[in-house]
Structure 1
Amino acid sequence: MIISQTRNYDNFMQDNKALQQTSNANQIANQKHNLTSNKTEAVKEVLGYGVDSEGFFTSDLNEAAGIPKDYKIYAKDIENFVNYHQNRSDILATHNQVDIAKSLANAYKAFSQLIPQSQSPSFSNKELENMPYAFKMDSNYNVTQTYTYAEYQSALNKDESGILLTFNTFDSRGFSKINAETIFNQADNVSINKYAYQNANGIAKGGVLIAFLNNSSLFFNVNQFLEGETKILGKIIGLDKNISEKELENFKGFMNANKIQSAFGENNDSWNTIEEQLSLQYYIKRSEATGDKDLFKESLSFAQEYQEMIDSSMSLEEFKEKYLDFKERHEEFVKKLKEKENILSQSEKQNSNEETELGSKNKKFKPIQVTSKSETYQDTSFLNTLDFIKSQQKLEQILILFGERSKGNFDIQNFKNFLTSSWKRLDTEV
């Protein structure tokens, strides 16, 4: 009897030891699953960093960005994010080359000041809901102020500037509360694969960080965490750390005083690359309407040259030099175009007078139809520009980008009306 009980006890202890070993093994496996794979386990590379068999970056990206290993990042999301911000066809693209490690490092510095302190590899829905709804930060990514949902709504009503949403919680229906679904809202920014981060405990830390990186302002195209090779637009809105505020101020003053003639006959005080792109496209329409092939070709050439200038990564000083040369040549083109339009206008008046003198009172007036034998100009980037301008949210972005709203002396509605009327003239005036 005693021997039987001893054996049962021994069996119990052995089974318990086996269960404990299994539990420890499962914990180790779970911990390993929640951590980035070692860079030696990479099966391919994306953006110069290793990617494991499940599609997540290996530890080399986390090491380069200074991010803890329990932040597993889905490689396809980052690839899409980088491609989006390097997209030449987007009128608000700010970079030609994004340094993703430095950009992630910047985002994590601010993000780590907003998140709850937790050893868990995931954030629960409750933890997400308790995060600040919005925040302000300085140029070194130090968070200087946080806002609850109600405080953010109040700040918006006061037109307070410099506030960044923590997540992309804004959509066509308005502002939503933070939760496991809304942090992955897609408006104008990149679609994040939320299913790569969802688990029984909530959202994996890596997914929450990427949702944060993917949205650094209400106006999503301008991402203040980005680092890399900036386009001219990136430089003039302050995303290039190598350019001081004084340099930017001097550059903008120079450009305001030297902007090219607008095709709409209205030159605002402030230089604006978006208005100039629209103006150059309207010059194409006007020159095509004259039937003069040489003028039409010139207009196409100027639009292309301008696009190449603002898409470049040249210095501001080099841009000013090239812009002045561009302006001088463009003014000669505008002079020739106006002369041609005047000749056509005089011819139209003369024909009208002759018809009146001949007594053609009952004849319906027909304006001169100028036919161009050249192929109608179709520019994908211009079509994108038109779509851009027709979007009210994008119009607001223009104002933010060029600092007009914060000055307090700019009439938003008048600016919208100007762009809307410019759009209509493109379709009807010619």
Structure 2
Amino acid sequence: MLVDVRPLRVDGFRRLWLAGTVTGLGAQLTAVVVPLQIYEITGSSAYVGLAALVGFAPMAVAALWGGVLADVRDRRRVLLATTIGIGATSLLLWAQAWADLRSVGVLLALVAVQQALFGANTAVSRAVTPRLVRPELLPAANALQSLVTLSAGIAGPLLAGGLLPVAGAGTLYLADAVAMGAMGWAVWRLPALPPVGSTGRRRAPFLSQILDGVGYVTRSQILLVTYLADFAALSLALPTALFPQLAEETYHPSDIGVLYAAVSAGGVLAGLVSGAFTRVTRHGVAVAVSVGVWGLAIAWFGSAGSLLPAVGWLLLAGGALLALGVFRKTVLQTAVPDGMRGRLQGLDTVVAMGGPRLGDLLHGMAGAAFGAGWVVAGGGVLAAGAAVALVVLFPEFRRYGAGIERV
């Protein structure tokens, strides 16, 4: 029932995972410092929000592009190039801080470039994992990777908060750049990962290959419903945009940090018992159950009147969110041929990033009109209802699992 560490016996995966523990912390340092530096320069939260918007479009396009490259080029080389690029942009962020440019334009441009490289890197790295790990160990591998990401999401901001007054923004950017060296070393040590069954024929144009990936999803009930389930969970029931309003109206303004941390902490706790995920054979049902538990936990959180039960429901929600991520990735890695995995991971990156942004917009508008508690609870109920509907209406998705329709 504890963490299944068998994927760490694979040399390539183990090196990537260990490097990820370092680079995850480094990435969180930059994620904290960039908005703080922008706010320090402008004194406006609008520019901080603009940075998120500026980063999303390049990230989405690059994720699709990176997915295509992962299907037609050596994945090791593509992953190495994007890893080096991320480290180089962190160095440029350090340079602008060291030079005291105080230019929002330069910061936004560097954020756009780094997010583009991150999108491509994410799509390729998710397509690399199934080439390193046996199919039956993919849930365990995905759980281990999610555990690192969530742990970094808790420890990284705390580390940044402690170091920033002492070391300054430039030093934290530099630490991120140095940390990327660990990932570069791990990727360099990977074996060559050329396209499977490559014949050297002339490749179709970029847009045509993207459309091939979209067409593959629309023809596969399993993939399409998995995307719908994930999108419903994150767009209907992700309450983070309303945490400031809830902290102000229901709890205490100083409680906002606890609300943010509780979801990640729940994911970490679930990751510590993720060995159970390997025993799950009905991956479609697991996706739906994860969405249902997430939605119900969020609904109860929305109706909680005090901090302690609210944190308890967020811990449960965070565990369900980790399980959703593990089984969603497993379905997308096992239900497609290797030559299509990169493009599908590119699409998944866009959906996974776009759902929360749409959810923030919907929750923010509805919360202002109807009140935060009602909106959070209602969104959770809708997400849980969507999970039930998807299981009932799509039998192929309901039946999908380990050993079923693997290609």
Higher-Rg structure is 1
Same fold at TM > 0.5 = no
Q: Which has the higher strand share?
A: 1
TM range (shorter): under 0.3
